Each structure stands twice: as C-alpha cells, then as structure tokens.
Amino acid sequence: MTRRSSSQKFHHRWKRKPLAMLLICFCLATFVLMESQCSRIKMPTFISRPFIQKPKIAFLFIARNRIPLDMVWDAFFRGDSENIFSVYVHSRPGFLLNSAMTRSAYFSNRQVNESVQVDWGEASMIQAERILLRNALMDHYNERFLFLSDSCIPLYNFSYTYDYIMSASTSFVDSFADTKEGRYNPNMHPVIPVENWRKGSQWAVLTRKHAEIVVQDDTVYPTFERHCKKKSLPEFWRDHPLPADGSKEHNCIPDEHYVQTLLAVS
Ligand SMILES: *[C@@H]1O[C@H](CO)[C@@H](O)[C@H](O)[C@H]1NC(C)=O
Ligand SMILES: *[C@@H]1O[C@H](CO)[C@@H](O)[C@H](O)[C@H]1NC(C)=O
C-alpha cells in the first residue's frame, strides 16, 4: 500500500466516523485536565488498528430498463458484503432507475447518467460497457469489474464469489482465435491484425488495468464501429433492406469480440 492511499483510507474513515472523532477530541481535552480520568476512558480500537479498505468488486449491469431479478441480487448483497462492492446500471436513455423502479436499495439511483441506446449485437453494446467502466473506475477501490446482463443471477453466496474473483490476479476473459469465415473484416487491418482477432463471452471480469485499457482505447473501438456490423437477420428485413450481396456483410458480433480482441492487440 502506498503512503498516499493509506492516508486516503484514513481520511475516509474519519469522514465516516464523526462520533469516534468526537470521542477522541473529548479524550484529549480531558487528558490535559484530568490525566488519571483519561486513562480509564477506553480509546476506540481503530486507532491501533487503522481501517483498511478492502478492494471492491464493481457489478456492472447492462439492462434494458429495470433489473427484473433485483430481489435475488438483494439477497446476495445482504450480509458480509458491506463496502466491498459497488453497483452500476446502464439502462436505456430516458428510463430512471429510482426507488419506485426497484425493490432493492442496492439498485436505487445506481444508474449511470450518460447512457446510450443499445442495439443487441451492435457496437453500441461496447459503448455501454465502456460507459459503465468509466464510471466504475472513478472509485479507486474498485479492483474487479464484472459485466452482467439483466437476466444474470448469482449462483454462489457473496463471500465465496468475492474470494473466488479476488484470488485470481488476472481477468476472467475467455478468448479463442475466431477463424470463422466472414467475421473478420480485412478492412480492420492494420489496426486489428487478423492474428489478434479473438472471440469469447461478453460476460467477463476485468482487472483494473484491463478496465483502463478498455476505457482509454481510441483505435480498436472506432474500427469496430466502422467495420463490424450486425448481419441483418430475416426477421429484420422488413426494417432494413436486404443487402444486395449478403455474403459481403461481416457478422462481427462486436460484443463477443471487442474486449478479447482489444486485449490481444494491446
Ligand atoms: C447523475 O446525475 C445526477 C443528477 O444530475 C447526479 O446527482 C448524480 O451524481 C449523477 N450520477 C453519476 C454516477 O455521475
Ligand atoms: C458460502 O458458500 C460457500 C461455498 O458454497 C460455503 O462453503 C460457505 O459456507 C458459504 N458461506 C456462507 C456465509 O453461507
């Protein structure tokens, strides 16, 4: 731990414990006046054991609107988890996730402000991920960044999940070379060389270092926006005209390639 962060942590504790601070001031004043009395006043134990903020996990929800399973998460967060996690929700613009829209205090007012309209399978999904990471990185205690959809549920209890995620010093990102014809667009070269083209699940856990790489990326993301589009499916042909030559379209599935490819490129 650095000197700076330890003093920050100490400050943090001071802010949260005005009562404890009052107690100490009282004791110091009394000490001058009545030395013998003061020795009997029990000093708060945190003076000898400075408060150490444990690293937090940021739960990043990509939701359409509200979180339908908020009460399942509420039960998960309740308990020993105090102050070692944070919640951020990306919902569509115009929707307000306030206390009327959720039965769980953990989600109330946890919506990020500058949300975008997400079209499933489009680059806007990546943008939502980047907005969530940007917000979560502002809290310096967030050490792991966990992407979740509005239909995810926890399978284990909080302490098991916390220990499991924190015990690994690296991100949980599955990744394999995606050689499937038509997904890699040669126009992405040279920003994305074909040997760095990777696929995996969108639902990953990133370390702080990797989260920073994603937020700071200003080359790979624009390349995805430009050259990686969803292939129009028959059910959407009414809305989007059928391309003249469907084989020329690249069905990139940006959300399942972006983080993996970016980390490979970096
Ligand atoms: C979002 O905007 C509201 C109202 O302007 C503000 O109080 C809140 O702090 C903002 N949230 C974040 C995460 O910046
Ligand atoms: C949490 O889950 C783990 C693994 O299933 C279990 O060993 C542990 O006892 C559970 N802890 C609590 C507090 O329920």
* CATH number of the structural domain spanning residue 160: 3.90.550
Nearest CA to ligand 1 atom 10: 113
Give the count of domains, the chain: 1
Q: What is the pLDDT of residue 10?
A: 38
Q: What is the pLDDT of residue 21?
A: 34
Q: What is the pLDDT of residue 234?
A: 52
Residue 213 lies in a domain: yes
Q: What is the pLDDT of residue 258?
A: 94
Residue 74 lies in a domain: yes
Could you tell which of 155, 160, 161, 162 is best to mutate to test the pocket of ligand 2, judged by most ligand atoms within 8 Å of the CB? Answer: 160
Q: What is the pLDDT of residue 19?
A: 34
**Nearest by Cα to 50 from 8, 10, 7:** 10
Q: What is the pLDDT of residue 230?
A: 63
pTM of the model: 0.76
Nearest CA to ligand 1 atom 4: 113
Q: What is the pLDDT of residue 60?
A: 98
Ligand 1 and 135: CB distance under 6 A: yes
Cα–Cα distance measured from residue 60 to residue 133, given in angstroms and rounded to the nearest whole number: 8
Residue with tokens 């993301």: 221
Residue 36 lies in a domain: no
Full residue range of the structural domain in which residue 174 is found: 56-178+201-224
Residue 195 lies in a domain: no
C-beta contacts of 68-72 below 8 A and 24+ residues apart: 68/150, 68/151, 69/150, 69/151, 69/152, 69/153, 70/102, 70/103, 70/104, 70/106, 70/107, 71/103, 71/104, 72/153, 72/154
Q: Which segments of the chain have a pLDDT < 50?
A: 1-41, 43, 236-237, 243-247
